[in-house]
Amino acid sequence: MSITAVPRGAHLTRRLIQLYVGLALYGASSALLVRAGLGLEPWGVLHQGLAERTGLSIGVVSIVVGAAVLLLWIPIRQRPGLGTVSNVFAVGIAMDGTLALVPDVHGLTAQIAMMVAGVVVNGVATGLYIAARFGPGPRDGLMTGLHLRTGRSIRLVRTLIEVAVVATGFLLGGTLGAGTVVYALAIGPLAQFFLRFFAVGGNPATEAGTDAEVTETGTGTEDAAGDGAAVASAPDDGDTTVTARTPEQAILPQ
């Protein structure tokens, strides 16, 4: 049992709030990066490129791509959670909503400020929805599923997928630039900080013990051994402490 007795219902309510606030902020942060015009996160580059080619909004493209990636879970035998399915729709809707409200910015100073805000908000969003423990996003689940089925490290699988995603998106017209680099360097430390801050029913970033040093690996996080294992999280009911590492914490959401 946890030291502080908190009713299971209270944990569930908080987790649901965290999940949907986190997903909404994730979509908003992606929209801020679009408005900054200095480069998007890897999957954002693909979404923007496809939006340029199809005439669909970038949020709708995000939903379509998320649903298509989720179908790829079937052959690798991944099981989606509430957070997985919600991710497909909520992020795209929030992204289009934010783009409708936030105008383009002009001038390098304003662009940099918007870019920094987008990256920081993305870190907050990532910490919120991963700590809610309702399952990884469809893109992250694809990476962890391939990791489990192929035996390759999360680091290698993620790198190969995201290089292909960025290259394809760039060729289609997506924005690749300083924002992409800043995102890659900053999102790991930011997400780990906010993951600890928003942990429900225990600290998922420290319960594995002091030997589970977390390091940044490109646009995701892995343990110091580089085997793709994630830091520990508490179980769904929040009433006990578990040291097993969960797949959704092996990499960051998208």
Confidence band for 45, pLDDT divided at 50, 70 and 90: very high
Gyration radius of the chain over CA positions: 17
**Is the predicted pLDDT of residue 209 greater than 80, yes or no?**
no
Distance of CA 244 to the CA centre of its chain: 20
The pLDDT, as a whole number, for residue 125 is 95
Is pLDDT of 1 > 60? no
Q: Tell me: the pLDDT tens digits for 87-125?
A: 999 999 999 999 999 998 999 999 999 999 999 999 999
Q: Work out the percent of the chain whose per-residue pLDDT is above 90.
A: 55
Distance between CA atoms of 228 and 144, rounded to whole angstroms?
8
68: pLDDT confidence band, cut at 50, 70 and 90? very high
Give yes or no for residue 205 having a pLDDT over 90: no
The angle subtended at Cα 228 by Cα 165 and Cα 62, nearest 5°, is: 30
- Do residues 253 and 29 lie in contact, with contact meaning Cβ atoms separated by under 8 Å? no
Question: Tokens 């520990």 map to which residue?
Answer: 232
Predicted confidence at residue 207, as pLDDT, reads 35
Instruction: Look at the block and give the residue holding tokens 């769904």.
Output: 236
Mean pLDDT, the chain, integer? 80
User: DSSP letters along 33-92, please?
Assistant: HHHHTS---HHHHHHHHHHHHH---HHHHHHHHHHHHHHTTTTTT----HHHHHHHHHHH
More confident residue, 79 or 63: 63
- Helices (H) and strands (E) in the chain — how many of each? 8, 2
Q: Which of 150, 151, 137 lies closest to 220, judged by CA?
A: 137
- Mean pLDDT across the stretch 132-152? 89
Whole-number pLDDT of residue 115: 97
Q: Which of 68-72, 75-79, 96-100, 242-246 has the lowest mean pLDDT?
A: 242-246
Contact 131, 200 (CB under 8 A): yes
Give the mean pLDDT of 169-189.
93
What CA–CA distance (Å, rounded) separates 106 from 57?
22
Maximum CA pair distance of the chain?
54
Alpha carbons 82 and 80: distance in angstroms, whole number: 7
Cα(first)–Cα(last) distance of the chain, in Å? 33
Q: Which two tokens stand for residue 134?
A: 């309702």
Closest CA to 215 of 189, 245, 197: 189
Q: How far is Cα 53 from Cα 48, in angstroms, rounded to an integer?
A: 9
Please, are residues 225 and 195 in contact by the beta-carbon 8 Å criterion?
Answer: no
CA dihedral 97, 98, 100, 102 (to 10 degrees): 170
